[in-house]
Amino acid sequence: MNSTYSLSSGNRGMLISMPHNGQHIPNNIADIMTSSATNIADTDWHMDKLYNFAQAMGIYVLAPKYSRYVIDLNRSPTGKALYAGANNTELCPTTAFDLSALYIAGQQPSNQEITKRVKYYWQPYHQALADTLATLKQKHGKVVLLDAHSILSQVPRFFSGMLPDFNFGTADGSSCSPALLEKIQQLNFTPYSSVYNQRFKGGYITRTYGDPSNNIHAIQLELSQHTYMDEPTNHYNKEKAEQVKKQLKCLVQCLANFAEEK
């Protein structure tokens, strides 16, 4: 176990990754950030609560301890933009989703600092991710990876209007088999809306680790935070959350069942 992430084990061929659930910022980094940055507003809040049923279902769960403001675990370590031609946040973000500065003027991370963060925060998480998938593949023969995210329902920087509730991404169909996508599409998400491969097609993790020809199937879910929070605050609304968790549990069960199909 590494001090930068937590990994809970299970007994089924499925892993849930929560790369933006971390909330810690090391003091040496926080000291050069703006006061608003330390509010970590762009966190994928409460992923651990939303999926707290997973371990009892035998699902492996991987989550970082450090904020995406330190380094974004769902971006390429080379810094390559996730969506060409669109407004993107960087590997080590310098602005928040609302375009406010994260660092005091002149204190943005240097190339040397970014390389250091890749080594100490990015690589351990991805090594754990790769190792776990390899172990599950060897043990079960087929693996499903769910990359679990959430975001405010309105973020003009990235999309216009209000985001649908369940936003599934499979890298335009390349990160999982058509059969798995069809099973997801057959689920009844009522009263929530759901879309596939629209604004969120899957980030670096989905695109990199999904290998359906090798029986490793990856799906990203970007969940609108209005389904379980009192927007625009980060307050967890237990009543709303319990309703959406029913849908999430059905989804995870569907994915785990697919992993067990021969």
Task: State pLDDT tens for residues 21-70.
Answer: 999 999 999 999 999 999 999 999 999 999 999 999 999 999 999 999 99
Tell the burial category of 87 from Cβ atoms under 10 Å away from its Cβ (0-12, 13-18, 19+).
Answer: middle
Place of tokens 């759901």: 194
Mean pLDDT of the 226-250 span: 97
Position 15 scores a pLDDT of: 98
**Tens digits of residue pLDDT in 85-108:** 566 789 999 999 999 999 999 999
Give the start-to-end residue ranges of the domains of the chain.
5-260
- The highest-level CATH class for domain 5-260 is alpha beta
How many angstroms separate the CA atoms of 181 and 177, rounded?
7
Q: Is the pLDDT of residue 126 over 80?
A: yes
Looking at residues 231-248, what average pLDDT do you find? 97
Q: What is the pLDDT of residue 1?
A: 53
Phi, psi of 140 (to 5 degrees): -110, -20
Which three-class secondary structure state does DSSP give residue 183? helix
Tracing tokens 């990876």 back to the chain, one arrives at 145
Q: Is residue 155 predicted with pLDDT exceeding 70?
A: yes
Residue 55 — left, alpha, or beta (φ > 0 → left; ψ -120 to 50 → alpha)? alpha
Length of the chain: 262
The more confident residue out of 159 and 210 is: 210
Cross-strand pairs, 34: none
Cβ(154)–Cβ(163) below 8 Å: yes
Beta bridge partners of 216: 143, 211
Neighbouring C-beta atoms of residue 122, cutoff 10 Å: 24
Number of other CB atoms surrounding residue 37 within 10 Å: 24
From residue 85, give the alpha-carbon distance in Å to each of 68, 158, 171, 191: 22, 12, 17, 33
The token duo for 173 is: 């169909």
Q: Map tokens 């776990």 to a residue.
A: 132
**Amino acid 79: pLDDT:** 81
CA 140 to chain CA centroid, Å, is 24
**Encoded tokens for 151:** 């975001």
Per residue in 170-186, pLDDT tens?
Answer: 999 999 999 999 999 99
